[in-house]
Amino acid sequence: MIFLFECRLSLAYDPAVGAGRRTLMSTRIGTLSRAIAIDALNHVLTRRQHADVVLEKLFSHHAAELRPLDRAFVFEIVYGSLRWLSKMDWIMSHMLDRPFASLDPRVACALRIGAYQIFYMDRVPDRAAVSETVEAIKKVGAGNAASFVNAILRRVARKAEYFPKPDRESDTANYLSVQFAHPVWMVERWMKHIPFDRLEHLLAGNNKAPPITLRRIGKRPLPTDEDLAAWLLRTQGIQSEWLPLKTALRVERLPDFGRCEAFRNGCFIVQDVAAQIAVGLVRNGAECGRVLDACSAPGGKSLALWDQGVEGSDLVLAESSQKRISLLKQNLERVGVEPAEILQGDVLAQIGERKFDTILLDAPCSALGVIRRHPESKWQRVPQDIEHCAQEQRRLLDGLAAAVRPG
């Protein structure tokens, strides 16, 4: 059997905590957090990197200086700015006497995070948003632009309710692009297939923070006899509810992983409900036989299969990215799973003529179906990527279908 699904999992920090909502953050959070946010946003946009990966590296580098509250604040700014990027850019284009695209990328990102705080973070006073962002631009090596950033953000704060938009009737694609912060090409593509009212709901939904769901790894006992929901409430003050899918726990926020014994011991992973459902379609335990997880990093599917009864000695994992292999190995080690083999490189080349009883394929995709969780995908994709992804999926499906053992 062969299974195909398109989900993206995060086994570490969830990239959407708080983003897209009005925040209740304290204004005690200062310059360093905003400087990290500028750096992160700049890396994501200029180097086409995943926001969660960038933030995890920056948080690790500044681990001694950041409290959980600081990290949450950075998440809010970075993911909020990514969600509303083209709207922030539209606003800035009305503030400048030069093209916004001509600015130093660090300066552009400072203006974006400053504008995001002004428009979307009610509990951060405008004066703090402006002054702390000005100080932050000095920390990222662009201090010569501090007075410029100060002047523009002050102007934005004064005119926050008075920015024109494209006309809804005569310039519909640009209107939707600005109002809901999506690339024009994406809006135009969807306008051909989706009625206007449904499209507005789709675009608005893409800018909402996704739910956060954990998967309980039943083979790994908790430190106490409590269930995971009770343990998280007692140790981390996190409210949660079990979903009808027995492994899935919906949480109000993620725990502090650094202080979470249950996470360190592999008692749970962060995994979307859709991914849990997809893995649940695979037969349990020994019925799966020899299993290939064809695009395995960061490891959530393999860990779920192991928890469903597949022996590690029957698991063969494949991943093309060396960087993601490292993350895969970290997660396997944390939960205590030893697969039969980890293959690095193109999966079809690596398996050769080998046959498997079960193949699970999380094929590379455009990520446009998970924009809520990965808002950077809106700005990192171009129309050609969709066809390229389809061709790669077709190649993998055809090749792996031939690797399924008959019977």
User: 10 near 270, Cβ under 8 Å?
Assistant: yes
CATH of segment(s) 211-271: 3.30.70.1170
Global pTM reads 0.83
Per-residue pLDDT, averaged over 270-287, amounts to 87
Confidence band of 309 (pLDDT split at 50, 70, 90): very high
Per-residue pLDDT at 7? 35
Confidence band of 265 (pLDDT split at 50, 70, 90): very high
* Parallel/antiparallel/unpaired status of strands 240-242 and 2-4: unpaired
Q: Where along the chain do the CATH 3.40.50.150 domains lie?
A: 1-8+272-407
Per-residue pLDDT at 288? 87
Angle of CA points 107, 112, 118, to nearest 5°:
125
Across the chain, mean pLDDT equals 89
Burial grade of 155 (CB within 10 A; 0-12, 13-18, 19 or more): middle
Cα R_g (the chain), whole angstroms: 23
**Could you give the CA distance from residue 31 to residue 95 in angstroms, rounded to a whole number?**
24
Burial grade of 77 (CB within 10 A; 0-12, 13-18, 19 or more): buried
Confidence band of 121 (pLDDT split at 50, 70, 90): very high
Per-residue pLDDT, averaged over 226-245, amounts to 94
Question: What is the DSSP secondary-structure string of 38-85?
Answer: HHHHHHHHHH---HHHHHHHHHHHTTTT--HHHHHHHHHHHHHHHHTH
Per-residue pLDDT at 29? 62
**Could you give the CA distance from residue 57 to residue 313 in angstroms, rounded to a whole number?**
32
Per-residue pLDDT, averaged over 195-220, amounts to 95
**Could you give the CA distance from residue 133 to residue 110 in angstroms, rounded to a whole number?**
7
Please check the confidence at residue 242 and state whether its pLDDT lies above 60: yes
**Could you give the CA distance from residue 283 to residue 281 in angstroms, rounded to a whole number?**
6
Per-residue pLDDT at 383? 95
CATH of segment(s) 1-8+272-407: 3.40.50.150
Select the more confidently predicted residue: 265 or 7: 265
Q: Where along the chain do the CATH 3.30.70.1170 domains lie?
A: 211-271
Please tell me whether residue 157 adopts helix, strand or coil conformation: helix
Q: How many CA atoms lie within 13 A of 190 on its CB side?
A: 21
Per-residue pLDDT, averaged over 312-318, amounts to 96
- Quote the percentage of the chain above a pLDDT of 70: 92
Please check the confidence at residue 286 and state whether its pLDDT lies above 80: no
Confidence band of 160 (pLDDT split at 50, 70, 90): low
Please check the confidence at residue 199 and state whether its pLDDT lies above 80: yes
Please check the confidence at residue 2 and state whether its pLDDT lies above 60: no
User: 76 near 199, Cβ under 8 Å?
Assistant: no
Q: Where along the chain do the CATH 1.10.940.10 domains lie?
A: 31-158
User: 208 near 20, Cβ under 8 Å?
Assistant: yes
Per-residue pLDDT, averaged over 323-352, amounts to 94
Written as six digits, the tokens of 106 are: 């660090």
**Could you give the CA distance from residue 72 to residue 19 in angstroms, rounded to a whole number?**
9
**Could you give the CA distance from residue 172 to residue 264 in angstroms, rounded to a whole number?**
49
Q: Please name the residues in contact with 208: beta carbons below 8 A apart, sequence gap of 6 or more.
A: 20, 372
**Could you give the CA distance from residue 247 to residue 268 in angstroms, rounded to a whole number?**
10
DSSP code of residue 344: E
Express each pLDDT in 10-61 by its tens digit.
Answer: 333 333 333 333 333 433 468 999 999 999 999 999 998 999 989 989 998 9
Per-residue pLDDT at 161? 63
Per-residue pLDDT at 159? 77
* Parallel/antiparallel/unpaired status of strands 212-216 and 248-251: antiparallel
Tell me which architecture the domain covering 31-158 has in CATH: Orthogonal Bundle (1.10)
Please check the confidence at residue 157 and state whether its pLDDT lies above 70: yes
**Could you give the CA distance from residue 184 to residue 251 in angstroms, rounded to a whole number?**
34
Please check the confidence at residue 305 and state whether its pLDDT lies above 70: yes
Per-residue pLDDT at 213? 97
Question: What is the DSSP secondary-structure string of 312-333?
Answer: GGGEEEEES-HHHHHHHHHHHH
Written as six digits, the tokens of 129 are: 């948003």
DSSP code of residue 284: P
Please check the confidence at residue 167 and state whether its pLDDT lies above 50: yes
Angle of CA points 68, 17, 114, to nearest 5°:
85
Please tell me whether residue 231 adopts helix, strand or coil conformation: helix
Residue type, 100: F
Residues found in the chain: 407
Per-residue pLDDT, averaged over 354-367, amounts to 93
